[in-house]
Structure 1
Amino acid sequence: MMRTVFAAAFALGAIAGSAQAMPLAPPGAGANGDVIAIAGGCGPGWHRGPYRGCLRNYANPAAHACPRGYHIGPGGACRGNGR
């Protein structure tokens, strides 16, 4: 009985192992121009935040209250990250 179950499982695995979910594209197939790459679904100038919302990318350092490597701590003072 156990031998039959093992043989059936092996045969099923051999058959399923040869299936391909998505075959490779043939050589010489060009990229499709219909696809536009965007940043996480938010669009240019935005990125995906920690709770799946879109946040604006800031390139202006003057727009931040603290310099790079610091964050606003208790009382509104700038504290170093990791402290």
Structure 2
Amino acid sequence: MKTLFAAALFAATVVGFGSAGAMPLAPASHSSEVIHVAGGCGPGFHRGPRGGCRANRVVVVRPAVRRCRVWGPGRAVCRTWY
């Protein structure tokens, strides 16, 4: 019985390979009416890690300001502002 089942499964698989149409017959035509957007979110947005639309943001890194006061040999107090 196992042999008959295995032979039927193998035959169905081989027949299925012949009917698979993985390649389209004609290439898709490109039209000027098609507007390409990033992931369907629109211009200025992109898809986030969970699939939602997020705004494209520019991250600006401010330089750190460091000021130190020296109170004697080996005694300095420094503060950093961002």
TM range (shorter): 0.5 to 0.7
- Which residue number corresponds to residue 32 of structure 1? 30
More strand by share: 2
1:44-82 deviation line (CA, Å, top 9, x unaligned): 1111122322222235x5xx3x26xxxxxxxxx76xxxx
Relative contact order, higher structure (CA 8 A, sep 6+): 2
TM-score normalized by the length of structure 1: 0.53
Deviation at 1:21, TM superposition (A): 4.4
Q: Which residue of 2 aligns with 1:15?
A: 15
Task: Give the C-alpha shift of residue 42 in structure 1.
Answer: 0.8
Counterpart for residue 48 of structure 2: 49
Q: 1:15 to 1:46 in 2, by over 3 A?
A: same
Given the two structures, how large is their TM-score scaled by the length of structure 2? Answer: 0.53
- How many equivalent residue pairs? 63
Q: CA deviation at 1:22?
A: 4.2
Give me the whole-angstrom Cα distance separating, in 1, the residues matched to 2:57 and 2:21. Answer: 41
- Larger helix proportion, structure 1 or 2? 1
- The RMSD of aligned alpha carbons is 2.8
